Every structure is written in structure tokens, then in C-alpha cells.
Amino acid sequence: MRRFRATAPAALAASVLVLAACGEDAAEPQAEGGGEPAAAEYPTERITLIVPYAAGGPITLMGQTVGTCLEEEFGQTVVVENREGASGSVGMQAMLAGGNDGHTIGIIAVPASATNPLQDDVGYTNEDYVPIAVGEVIPSVLAVGADSQFADAEAFFQYAKENPGELNVGVPGATTSQAMELRRMAELYDVEVTAVPFNGNAEMTTALLGGNVDAVFINSTEDVLQNIEAGSFTPLAVSPEEPIEYIDAPTLAQVGFPELVYSTSVWGFAAPAGVPDDVVSTLESAIENCLSKEETIETLGEQYVPDEFIGSEEFAARIDDIVEVYGPILQD
């Protein structure tokens, strides 16, 4: 089974570390009582990894899996802490409060982590954290129930265009990327459906199977793939710019919406702003090693771990794109 491919740079963390090691006094450990330890010695104590959602589920699994691997990489304990609340903002605040020596890091969920500060006072901005690496990429899928009148995306969108707002589409929250893309569909292409927010996949699945919504625009997690395989869901379209082989459906771009390519959940690792660059590079390189291990890929799902590693620079660019696209909508 081919995994979703994400275009990514190979971050040359080793080169950064070599250059850092060649530095002069600035690279040497500070005197006793003189502040943070040198990055070349990192880590010098246990690492706390903040998961900004309740225990259980795929984000916690990713944190635990990569955390265990980082223990092996660094020879230091990695403690995974769940700090749920406020769409991930509570966990982000906990990470930022941990200091910028690299011993407190966290998982961020894009676009939520990037869009939260655009719409509410959540105690942080997008300048307060540094993306390290992407762990998983989960596209969205627009799906209908097995008994739907719509056999394909063309029929669904043609009906939506002729009957504005009549079709109800479940989404996992009012300000999620799925909801944002449906708003952009109306603004850019004059195709209007009514987004109905739910609290996650379980509620959305119940609503679709019970006939309470006409479709769902949902993260294609394992439960959704199982419903597709069982015939309970019929996929109409997927969100990435490129087709994905594990869902037999065209992309939204292929059915007439070339701008709608942002509804993909990206889960990755971040640290508070101010963490030394070579500490970020050390973490980036270690996470890359972890994500290349077969046991990690098997645990997380090979369709979700990017084929090509997405490091700090490209992860930051992804967040900038989300802010540029969704910012004006959220701040209307």
C-alpha cells in the first residue's frame, strides 16, 4: 500500500551540528550557575512531551511511539503528558511554560494550532513556538452513506450548485480545515453546502449512518477507512493536491476545485521559541530517525507517515500557508 506522499526537504541537521561543534567559546558549556547547558550536550535531563488532547487516540499513540524511540536515541527518559482542552491551546500553553532549553516539547495539530490564535486570545501566537518535524499527515475525505442518491462527486456538487445550502455536510468542528474549505468552496466557486459541526469522527459517523447529514468531510483515519472498506461510506473526493492510492476517489482539484487543497491534518512536533537552533536540529534529526524505523511506521500506519521526511523549515512553511489562506476567513 503506497503512503500519502508529501513533498519535503531533507533537513541537513548533521551539517548544522558539525558547524556548531566548530564554534568557539559560545559553544562551550556555561560556567556553573551561568544558565542553560550547551546545546552540544543536549539532552542533559528528562524530556517532557506534551500531547494537547485527551489520552488515547492517534495523537497520543504518535507521542508515545516517537517518545519511546527518542528515549533510545538520547538515553534520557521521555515523559508523555496529556494536557487536553481548548482545541489544543491548553497543551500549547503547557509546552511554552516549560522553558526554551529543549527539555519540554509538544505535539501540534495543524491547522488547529495555527488558527487558534487567529480567532481567540489563547495565550500564545504563532511566533511563540518553533516547528520541528511532521509526524503524520492525514488527508480528509468527502463521503456519503451507502444508500446515498449521489454516486460520485460530480453528481453531488452539481446538486449543491443547483440547490444552494440544501445539502448538509458534517465536519469535525466549526473552524476546522474541513469547515474552512467548505466556506472557500462557496466563496471561490459558488457551490454552497451547509456545514454541520460535530465533536469528532464518532459523532459524524453516527450522523451519516443515521441519515442526519447528507455527507461528511472527515479525517481519513483508520475508522473511516474501515467504513469505506465495509461499504458503509462511499468516498466522493479527497483533499490533497495529489491522488492517494488507499482511497478510490478523485481529488477536489480534479473535480473542479483547484484551490481546495488544504484540508489535511498535519500532526507534528514543536518547541518553545528561543530553543537553540542546534537543539532544534538535534531533535529534528532524532525524529527523522524514529520515523524511518519500520516498527514506527507499522504502529502509526504506513499511509500516514510521509514517505519523505518533513523537517522544521518545510513544516514552518506549511503553517505560514495555512495562516495566509485561513487568516482572512477567521478574522472576518
Residue with cell 544558565: 35
- pLDDT at 39 (0 to 100): 56
| Closest by Cα among 110, 112, 134 to 3 | 134
Average pLDDT, the chain: 88
Residue with cell 487568516: 327
Q: Give the model's confidence band at 34: pLDDT under 50 very low, under 70 low, under 90 confident, else very high.
A: very low
H or E, element range at 309: none
| Phi and psi angles of residue 300, each rounded to the nearest 5 degrees, phi first | -80, -20
Tell me the per-residue pLDDT of 298-330, one tens digit each, with 9 for 90 and over.
Answer: 999 999 999 999 999 999 999 999 999 999 888
Q: In the CATH scheme, what is the homologous superfamily, with its name and number, of domain 13-23+34-136+265-330?
A: Bordetella uptake gene, domain 1 (3.40.190.150)
Check if 13-23+34-136+265-330 and 139-238 are the same fold.
yes
Asked if the model's pLDDT at residue 15 lies above 80, the reply is: no
d(CA 308, CA 3): 10
d(CA 177, CA 140): 9
d(CA 153, CA 155): 5
d(CA 109, CA 86): 13
**The three grid cell numbers given for residue 111, joined into one nine-digit string:** 491547522
Tell me the per-residue pLDDT of 96-130, one tens digit each, with 9 for 90 and over.
Answer: 999 999 999 999 999 989 999 998 899 999 999 99
CATH architecture of 139-238: 3-Layer(aba) Sandwich (3.40)
Q: Let me know: does 4 contact 265? Beta carbons within 8 Å.
A: no
Confidence (pTM): 0.81
Q: For the chain, give every domain's residue range.
A: 13-23+34-136+265-330, 139-238
Q: How buried is 169 (Cβ within 10 angstroms: 0-12 exposed, 13-18 middle, 19+ buried)?
A: buried
- pLDDT at 87 (0 to 100): 82
Looking at per-residue pLDDT, the higher value among 264 and 57 belongs to 264
3-state secondary structure of 68: helix
Asked if the model's pLDDT at residue 204 lies above 50, the reply is: yes
Instruction: Dihedral sign for Cα 71, 73, 74, 80, please.
Output: negative
d(CA 280, CA 268): 13
Range name among 5-14, 41-50, 73-82 with the lowest pLDDT average: 5-14
Q: Give the model's confidence band at 9: pLDDT under 50 very low, under 70 low, under 90 confident, else very high.
A: very low
